[in-house]
Amino acid sequence: MVIGMRLYENEAKRIFEKEDISIPRQYGLICRAEDLTEMQGSLEFPMMMKSLVLIGGRGKAGGIKKTTGLEEAVVMAGDMLGKEIRGYKVEMLMLEEAVEEKVAFVPGTAFYADGRGHDALRLTFATCPTDMIDEGIRRLGNAIARRTEKAA
């Protein structure tokens, strides 16, 4: 028997974080555009604002936006909150670090039940042309360097 589970993105990311899987820095959740002003000291730009709805296709429907500053974020949040995406009303936005490199990787520890894998990571590139793999590796290097600098 297959049991399905539907999670909001922030809930799934909490599970990833608990399992030591790297995720972009989370700034919080908002229900009103004005909440951004109250959080301004803890936000870093550029930042992603993501509609929390239990449906795919949020990005193409305008439910995921990158913002470069507080004033722009307040306006965008006002436009996004209350909007309907494929029949689901947007009542909450998740705020997170913008991943500039547009490349994703999973630390190796996520693939070992015994705690190994701290010196490994997992990439998927099976269906990409060689030039895209080369560009992805370049971006990955930049992403790792940026995270290493922040951790130091």
CATH number at residue 21: 3.30.1490.20
Last residue of a domain, one of 80, 97, 114: 97
| CA–CA separation, 40 and 112 (whole Å) | 39
Same domain as 52, residue 117 = no
Same domain as 137, residue 77 = no
Question: Quick check: bond before 129 cis, omega within 30?
Answer: no
Domain that holds residue 144: 106-151
Last residue of a domain, one of 69, 97, 125: 97
| CA–CA separation, 62 and 80 (whole Å) | 8
H helices of the chain, where? 9-18, 35-39, 70-80, 130-151
Same domain as 112, residue 90 = no
**How many domains is the chain built from?**
2
Per-residue pLDDT of the chain (152 residues; tens, 9 = 90+): 667 778 888 898 888 888 777 778 899 999 999 999 999 999 999 999 999 999 888 888 999 999 999 999 999 999 999 999 999 999 999 999 887 766 666 667 767 778 787 777 777 666 677 888 888 888 888 877 877 776 66
Same domain as 36, residue 111 = no
